[in-house]
Structure 1
Amino acid sequence: MATETTASTASACVGPNGSAIGMPQLCGDWVWNQVFWLVLALVAIYFVLTRVALPRIAAILAERQGTITSDLAKAEELKAQAEEAEKAYEKALADARVEAGKIAEQTRAEIRAQVDEAQAKADADIAAKTAESEKQIQEIRASALANVEAVAKDTAEALVAALGVSADKVTVDAAVDKRIEGQR
């Protein structure tokens, strides 16, 4: 009977050879033993997590957040600097365009003045050459008239001699002069 008492005080979850029947986790006799170890494991995990792992994770997250915040602040600062640089560039570009316009207008004015000066000089040269040419033409006309007069006198003398009329040179010259005066 002693064997029966031992077997009856043993659990219904243990077979005659001492091995578990079915799944030991589902045995009602062992539930409190499993609950004890479960609570003990959870408390141990809780202390390990709260004392070791979570502070490290919190520190890493805080560091990352600090890095992100500082990077965002630096990005905002760089963005502001870029905007200022762009404004300065736009202003410098506008100033350069205005200055280029002034230089172009000044150059046009200088070229216009040079062209006007050259044109005035050319007009003066042309006027001087025209006056000189007119003077030469007047001289040539006067010379031609004098030559025409001399040729006319010589021709009249030769004609009078060819006709056989006797006339002296002074009479022929006076007749030619009178005729030329009537033409003018």
Structure 2
Amino acid sequence: MMPRRLAASLPLVAFPAFAQAAEKGMPQLDFANKLLISQVVWLAIIFLALYLLLAQWGLPRVASVLAERARRIKGDLDAAHAAKKTADDAIAELNAAARHAHAEAGAAIAGATERAKHEALAHASALEARLKADLDAAEARILAAEQAAKGALREAACETAAILVTRLAGFAPDAGAVTTAVDRALAGRAAG
């Protein structure tokens, strides 16, 4: 093979075959050549055979594979949509159940609170009644003790007055007169 620089520097005239080829044009498009015509005919026959082979055998198989794939994808999408609808329904049911549970819990809490209030009120009423009874009993005891103390005070006042009069006057006073005088004095104190 000749180096490029050398081939480029030599004129085409030095190589008569190249000069002839240059004059005729591209040999692939020289239809005067019988070899080219046979190649074009065989190309058409092979192309037609490949076309018929693909149209009758290859492409229907590819089409059936694509149709099966489309059917599976559609089935999967339908299943996914059905699963999504089921999940959405389950979520809606769960939310409704949660709202119902919250409402029931709120009602239970309100009921328990109301029962606790009633129980506390009943307990407070019972306690108040017991305390009132205890207070009434204590007041009665205090009143009885006060009456007893007043009675004891009256007796002590009568005895003291009788002893004082006996010592001061030198004679024993009349018990009725001393009692009347002490009762008058106690009544004047109670009024004033």
**TM-score, normalized by length of structure 2?**
0.74
Bigger mean CA offset, 142-151 vs 171-180: 171-180
Tell me the residue number matched to 2:102: 97
Residue 173 of structure 2, aligned match among 143, 164, 168: 168
Q: Residue 35 in 1 paired to residue 40 in 2? A: yes
CA deviations over 1:84-104 (Å, ceiling 9, x no partner): 222322332232223223212
Q: 1:77 to 1:181 in 2, by over 3 A?
A: closer
Provide the aligned length of Structure 1 versus Structure 2.
Answer: 168
Residue type at the aligned position of 1:97: H
Residue type at the aligned position of 2:32: D
Residue 80 of structure 2, aligned match among 49, 56, 75: 75
Alpha-carbon distance between aligned partners in 2 of 1:115 and 1:181, rounded to the nearest angstrom: 48
Q: Residue 147 in 1 paired to residue 152 in 2? A: yes
**Corresponding residue SS for 1:168:** coil
**Corresponding residue SS for 1:166:** coil
Tell me the residue number matched to 1:11: none
Residue 125 of structure 1, aligned match among 114, 126, 130: 130
Alpha-carbon distance between aligned partners in 2 of 1:143 and 1:126, rounded to the nearest angstrom: 25
Alpha-carbon distance between aligned partners in 2 of 1:165 and 1:176, rounded to the nearest angstrom: 20
Pairwise CA distance, 1:173: 3.8
Residue 161 of structure 2, aligned match among 137, 156, 159: 156
Q: Which has the higher contact order (CA 8 A, sep 6+)?
A: 1
CA deviations over 1:69-118 (Å, ceiling 9, x no partner): 11121122112212322232233223222322321222122112201110
**TM-score, normalized by length of structure 1?**
0.77
Alpha-carbon distance between aligned partners in 1 of 2:168 and 2:174, rounded to the nearest angstrom: 15
The correspondence of residues 99-114 of structure 1 with structure 2, limited to 5 A, is 99-114=104-119
Contact 2:158 2:178 in 1 (8 A): yes
- Segments of 5+ residues of structure 2 without an aligned counterpart are 1-14
Q: Report % sequence identity.
A: 29
Tell me the residue number matched to 1:25: 28
Tell me the residue number matched to 1:137: 142
RMSD (CA atoms):
2.7
